[in-house]
Chain A
């Protein structure tokens, strides 16, 4: 759509690359914070070791 509207191809390509980078960074963060054994998650980041885990 953007290219059809006159946005230069290189600008669109740059935006796509930035989006991929942003999404990959977010995916990495989510992977880090979401409980791996519970992907649809009742919670939350993994609790620090020795802490009592609280559920909402």
Chain B
């Protein structure tokens, strides 16, 4: 019926279905074929769920014919990080340890997308147990970046980044404990939304750190990120970190522009490891935000550059606690990088961990009372250096490797520590031809404001109008 799918956004897909230009079953078949082809070529795909996809597509098509009310994601095929359970499906979390494990339940976020009419058709590769920023996985191999397959996608939602950037699906859920939505979104030229801690329920998602885990979407457009957030936000009775807050209409004011918004650049501290090539793209982005009518100034968050290490400690301890029963007797089933971080977490003094947790609470208060009382939105880098190659970032790749790993989370982990919402946005390309990106950070539950500013920027600086990835549905 139509050769346009895959490669459409959520909104375009909905329009095509509504106009009768695209049949749901056909969209699903083409998406499965694209994931099976380019998706596997990029090593983005963990598993296709063909039977479920086709059955669901037929059911949805039938409901439309019967005149039933349809949801905002009606007929849109999606695929998610291999941390998201669906009852009866394999759920392996990029690990050897969970190979063959079938999920006893469906993740709440996935169930909410079902209710909104989306079609869940595949699981995408992840860093083992989501513990890593580069995208490497000793069991499943590295996912390749669609813009240049020699380069990493970043992690840990690496398959989600590659699949959306290659146009195989319009959106995918990822998870973000220290940057794992924003880093792959940034490396792949996407919009990555990490919601406020507690806004989106996490039950049914394989955890890494109960204090820091958040779940959210990677999309090609800001409006699509808003649509997915609208579908998944809300309380979760099975998530102890969930908060019951009013959920606004995230699309209602999204075209309202950035005029008058006070933006604070967190240059001191967060820019320390930023390479000149990236800094030039960030400076251009700041100038463009100014042209949109935002007032831009620098703000200071004393000590922000030190928080990366505290966040890393929290992740190690909490992940070790989750894995402690499995670690004993199964060390050989973990990847070397994963097990070294997990085991270290077992031996961190409890006193240090508790002091970090207490500092976290006070530091968040401090940031809200200072920087985020002076401005509406904070501006910060995502990757401090141009997206590196797979070879440069492999296990013990060279003397610079450890430094690169630590620096990779320098600008993202502190935002998890603070529990704040943030959206990463592409801002052109660095000299190696890979996307560059910045993040906008808001007060708790200010997602609507962040999306409005992000949309204003995207409207004037549309990365996807300029270029498309070399391995993608548009490259044929």
Contacts and interface: CB of A to CB of B under 8 A. Distances in A.
Interface in A22-47: 22-23, 25-27, 29-30, 32-34, 41, 43-47
B340 interface: yes
B328 A47 contact: no
A27 B331 contact: no
Contacts of B343: 2, 7, 11-12, 14-15, 18
A2 B347 CA distance: 11
A7 B359 contact: no
Contacts of B346: 2, 15, 19
B303 A7 contact: no
B249 interface: no
Contacts of A16: 344, 347
B370 A15 contact: no
Interface residues of A, number: 34
B363 interface: yes
B303 A32 contact: yes
A30 B300 contact: no
Contacts of A11: 331, 339, 343
Contacts of A6: 329, 331
Interface in B41-63: none
What interface size band does chain B fall in? 35 or more
B366 A22 contact: no
Contacts of A32: 303, 306
B340 A18 contact: yes
A30 B344 contact: no
A14 B331 CA distance: 14
A3 B183 CA distance: 36
B327 A2 contact: yes
A2 B369 contact: no
Contacts of B310: 26, 29-30
A55 B355 CA distance: 19
Contacts of A43: 362, 365-366
B356 A26 contact: yes
Interface string B281-321: 00000000000000000001011001101101100100000
B100 interface: no
B365 A56 contact: yes
A33 B308 CA distance: 13
A16 B309 CA distance: 17
Given A18-B340, A30-B356, A23 B306 contact: no
Contact of B349 (A12, A23, A48): A23
A21 to B, nearest CB: 8
Given A12-B343, A15-B347, A23 B303 contact: no
Nearest to A27: B352
B366 A56 contact: yes
Interface of B: 300, 302-303, 306-307, 309-310, 312-313, 316, 327-329, 331, 339-340, 343-349, 352, 355-356, 358-359, 362-363, 365-366, 369-370, 373
6 contacts: A2-B327, A14-B343, A26-B309, A26-B310, A44-B366, A56-B365
